[in-house]
Structure 1
Amino acid sequence: MDKEMITIIPIGSIDKRLLTTLASSLEEIFRLPVSVDPSMQLPYNAYNPKRQQYHATTILNKVKGETSSDKGRRLGIVDVDLYVPELNFVFGEADLLGKTAVISLSRLRQEFYGLPRDEDLFLKRTLKEAVHELGHTFGLRHCQNEKCVMHFSNSLRDTDIKQVTFCPICQKKLP
């Protein structure tokens, strides 16, 4: 059996330095090897012109369907605004019964809201959302503890409040 690992899959054009930094941080947090695959094309059928957003589940399914590795978790990263029908937007989505997740960088940037660029804050937010969605692939659900990385983020304020780590209860549930 192959060793458990995490594979980051950039979808579209994603900054290489961000991918390297994220891979290193995820290795530290999950204590698993992390690799970065070559970039995958954004699925055209994911775009909803009425909403001017991309359907997260369509992208998630593409990542699931086009990656042959069954040896670990897969994290797709896009730089477009994502949605699911029930919500105005999502920072990411995960397959709770599988090993695949996707996050969007779009709304994690200060510039999205007309604010000055803050690279450190952007990196922290990206890491939190990556850890959160990967946490779902390990079977974790949303946590009531607002400081836990598994707490649901309804806004960036929620993301900024929570830590990048799991609370003791969620940590115990990890393999």
Structure 2
Amino acid sequence: MMGNDSYSSNRGSSRDVLSFLQNFLGGFYAKYGIEVKLVGGLSLSKFYYAFDAERNQFLARHFLPVLSYIKKDFNARAALGIVNVDIYEPGFNFIFGLAHPGLKVAVVSLYRLYPEFYGNPPDRKLLKERALKEVMHELGHVFGLGHCPNPKCVMHFSNSIIDTDIKSWMYCESCLRKLEKNLARSHV
């Protein structure tokens, strides 16, 4: 798991969120023999070419090849990058995250997960819950899951923050079975 805190804002550091995610994911994935490590931050200056000045957003797909190299460097089953910038993909105004199951990498943006983004007061607990849901969602894709029609399942597509707030951090029974099967089958 890669964290990026180089985006300066009045939102403060995301270190507590990264620590929370590392601890939670470490516990969740330990039963599948997957160790979760937090490695140092990655400077956004390496992604200057991904920045679209007109949109004031980064094209998410440009983070994935770098994460793939990091995955190889650490001999990891998967790599997850967490950024504090707004990301998008063509055809979408924004995205919360993006995964590439073939590369076994994903990126999640905290930018639109902050309650302050929507004009609400800061709430670190809510931020952590939202981050957990998006991370579990993207890692689900990394490990072969598609979107789920169950609005409570973490694999349900989030078209807005409301969708993220409605769904659980956990996989529904069907998605969890698929995830367990995929993790047992693939030793990436």
Q: TM-score, normalised by structure 2?
A: 0.85
Query: Which stretches in structure 1 are left out of the alignment for 5+ residues?
Result: 1-7
Residue 66 (structure 1) shift? 4.2
Task: Please point out which of 57, 61, 67 is paired with 1:63.
Answer: 67
| Counterpart mapping for 1:1-175 below 5 A | 8-13=1-6, 15-31=14-30, 32-42=34-44, 43-67=47-71, 68-174=73-179, 175=183
Alignment coverage as a number of residue pairs: 168
Aligned equivalents of 2:26, 2:114: Cα separation in 1:
23
Residue 38 (structure 1) shift? 1.0
1:88 is matched by which residue type in structure 2? N
Aligned equivalents of 2:14, 2:127: Cα separation in 1:
13
Residue 151 (structure 1) shift? 0.5
Q: TM-score, normalised by structure 1?
A: 0.91
More displaced stretch, 109-118 vs 11-20: 11-20
Aligned equivalents of 1:83, 1:166: Cα separation in 2:
25
1:41 is matched by which residue type in structure 2? S
Aligned equivalents of 2:148, 2:42: Cα separation in 1:
32
1:38 is matched by which residue type in structure 2? G
Residue 54 (structure 1) shift? 0.5
* Native 8 Å contact 2:5 2:14 kept in 1: no
1:39 is matched by which residue type in structure 2? G
Query: Which stretches in structure 2 are left out of the alignment for 5+ residues?
Result: 7-12, 184-188
Give the structure with the higher percent strand: 1
Q: Identity of aligned pairs, percent?
A: 43
Residue 98 (structure 1) shift? 2.4
Residue 164 of structure 1 aligns to a residue in which SS? coil
